[in-house]
Structure 1
Amino acid sequence: MNIRQIAKIAGVSPATVSLVLNDREGVGEATRQRVWQVLQEYGYTPPRRNARKKRSGLVRFIAYRNAGELVERNGDFIARVMEGVENAAHQMGYDLLVRSATRERLPEEIEACNGGDTDGVILLGTEFAPDQISLLKTLQVPCVVVDNALEHTLFDAVVMDNAQGAYMAVDALRELGHTRIGYLQSSLGISNFNQRSRGYHQAMQALGLAEHPGDILTLRPTLEGAYADASALLATREGRLPGAFFADNDTIALGALRAFKAAGYRIPQDISIIGFDNIAACQVAEPPLSTVHIYKQRMGRFAVERLVQQIRRPTGEYTKLLVGAKLILRGSTAPAAVQRT
């Protein structure tokens, strides 16, 4: 039994469970009691370090939220990254403290990290705003950013290979015989989506596929938002849709899939769709969603390993680590030859 499983049973986030375990503020009393009840009922014991090792120190995991749409609505991704962080931290002899920080609260969290009891920081940077980098530079302890490369900075980062993942998706659709491949693009511009956009356009050019501006549909990166935006676009659109789409993430893909079906399109007979992230909802969608799988736990583990290197043997150097992706084809994709039959 781990933090992610406890959080699911209690109906809270993994960050909330960590706050309760560490006896930290930010959790209501009713929620705190519910979490403790689940912990006691399932006999949860935090992973133990090797008894022969002395405590090495404290690592803080800061889950940063800016707009909040991606972090708050993608709990599966965060939980699995945190699971990798938690396991690796304890294996290497470090206590782990999980904190959440909005844009307004980040200065307070940075100050706390510089207070003397923190040996290093792992920052969930999915929504990290570029104009906050100057604040991040005031950290007096090593820091590794997860899920944002923070390009053109000297911060260590562990990120998924977004561009290659998008390239793989487009190439897979081409291998299925599709020559007109559209793009379900997020209306929210973050580092991950920008890199996936680059991968899509690079793949289209390298594979000799013509791009049509009208085949790029800009949708909000939430299930309800993507569905509403796609429905509105379909209601006013003239002409035939592409036979296939690559989406910036699974949530956008699932919202668009629902809108396409409501408009009378068959998936995958009329339209093939590939998403990105491999969230749990992909397998229960109708049809199951093809996607680019991300090794989330591995990202968390690599972040801890790099952070510990910086804590124990600081060199002043920085590393940007790309974690590879894997394509998973399910029922939302089909060869172009069987479409519109």
Structure 2
Amino acid sequence: MSATIKDIAKLAKVSHMTVSRALNNSPLIKEETKRKILEIAEQLNYVPNYNAKSLVLQRSHTIGLFFTSMVQGTSSSFLAEAIRGVGQEVGVQYNLFLRGIDDFQEFSSIHHRRFDGILLMSQSERDDTFIRHVREQEIPLVVLNRNVGDPGIVNFVSNDREGAYELTRYLVEQGHTRIGLVEGIAGYKSTQERKEGYLRAMTTAGLEVREEWLIEGRYDVESGYLAMSRLMALSLEERPTAVFCCNDDMAIGAMKAAAEAGLQIPADVSVVGFDDIGFSHYTNPPLTTVQRPIEQLSRMGARKILELIEEPSAVGELVLLDTRLVCRESVGTLR
């Protein structure tokens, strides 16, 4: 006869609930107690019965990781960092369900019997309908990447506005006064935050912001390429000497457009990005950018959702994570 949780609890001299939490890697159990329980479970060759456990605890052992969209405005590197961060925390005790909100016509399939908890990597206020549905279903929820402004929601966000301000100020310090901006997708919070950081830095420095220097992009390589082509079509006296692309994918496209126009980076034009994706190290020249702690933010969110699954709480919190300016070789100094 196979060992049970009660057998482990008896030997460990703890309650069966403590054993259950330890086996589920709950952060609420002390490491010493968890280690003792796992050692006893291994000695008894304990094999968990997930079907029985799900019925007793009314758990699906599934955590949903949702994005505003997995196609539009979500780069492959952003996606990979988010999944890696969450995966490192939830381990093998939970199945991870990935989907974009824009895949759903309605949300009737998202309910508490299907998900033990949900992490939302949010970009847009359009996600608020989804958030309301999840809360009505009483599914533990953590929102990442966008400040939803709700004191009842647990929220982890990177300080994009300050990162954009620091990046633009760095360009100003290098002598640039004509600085263009390739924006992200209209309506996305990240687009708004990065633009506001750029505008604050330009205003603080007393610099002019021309309408023709502000071009809407889509957070992909092609839109960066097209935006830079438009900027470089301006006369030499009118075009920017530096271009701030609101993510690294667009910056890579912008660098290609500059090269095809016969311009050298940074001798003829400086280019900067945002996110610090892996490819930014290997562009020619390496890209100056802002590092966002996406993997750290995702890990913190996953850790919190595990806590909320074990101990639901109506208390929210907002955690703001710092960004970091990464100076490489794509910015030249004007004298």
TM-score (norm 2): 0.74
SS at match of 1:217: strand
Q: Structure 1 residues 305, 79: closer, same or farther in 2, change over 3 A?
A: same
Q: Does 1:61 align with 2:82?
A: no
Query: Could you tell me which of 184, 192, 197 is aligned with 1:186?
Result: 184
- Could you tell me which runs of 5 or more consecutive residues in structure 1 were left unpaired when the two chains were aligned: 1-47
Unaligned runs of at least 5 residues, structure 2: 1-23, 26-33, 39-47
Match of 2:282 in 1: 284
Q: Is the 8 A contact 1:188 1:221 kept in 2?
A: no
Question: For the structure 1 residues 294 and 66, does the alpha-carbon distance in structure 2 shift closer, same or farther, using more than 3 Å as the test?
Answer: closer
With 132-141 and 296-305 compared, the bigger mean Cα shift is at 132-141
Structure 2: which amino acid aligns with 1:311? Answer: I
* Alignment partners' CA distance in 1, 2:79 and 2:103: 21
Paired AA for residue 251 in structure 2: A
State the superposition RMSD in angstroms: 2.9
| Alignment size in residue pairs | 284
2:219 aligned partner: 221
State the distance in 2 between where 1:66 and 1:328 align. Answer: 27
1:73-92 counterparts in 2 under 5 A? 74-90=75-91
Q: Give the distance between the partners of 2:169 and 2:180, measured in 1 at CA.
A: 13
* Cα deviations by residue, 1:112-149 (Å, 9 ceiling, x for unpaired): 4411x633211222357245244343331210012222
Secondary structure at the counterpart of residue 73 of structure 2: helix
Contact 2:135 2:141 in 1 (8 A): no
**Which SS does the other structure have where 1:202 is aligned?**
helix
SS in 2 for 1:103: helix
> Given the superposition, is the C-alpha separation of residues 153 and 261 from structure 1 closer, same or farther in structure 2, using an over 3 Å criterion?
farther
Task: Name the TM-score, length of structure 1 as normaliser.
Answer: 0.73
1:120 aligned partner: 117
Give secondary structure in 2 for the equivalent of 1:221.
Answer: coil
Question: 2:139: which partner in 1?
Answer: 141
Paired amino acid for 2:98: R
**Pair member with larger Rg:** 2
Deviations 1:54-109 (CA, angstroms, capped at 9, x unpaired): 999735132334482222xx12112112211111223xx8524223144243745x
How far residue 161 of structure 1 moved from its aligned partner, in angstroms, is 1.0
Alignment partners' CA distance in 1, 2:225 and 2:212: 18
Q: What letter is aligned with 1:274?
A: V
The question of whether the paired residues in 1 share the 8 Å contact of 2:101 and 2:127 is answered with no
Gap change, CA 1:305 and 1:102, over 3 Å in 2: closer
SS in 2 for 1:292: strand
Q: SS state of the match for residue 94, structure 2?
A: strand
Corresponding residue SS for 1:265: coil
Contact kept? 1:257, 1:267, Cα under 8 Å: yes
Aligned residue for 1:189, secondary structure, equals: coil
**Preserved contact between residue 110 and residue 134 of structure 2 (Cα < 8 Å):** no
Counterpart for residue 38 of structure 1: none
Aligned-residue sequence identity (percent) comes to: 24
Q: Is the 8 A contact 1:219 1:230 kept in 2?
A: no
Call closer, same or farther: CA 1:211–1:236 in 2, change over 3 Å.
closer
CA distance in 2, matches of 1:67, 1:75: 9
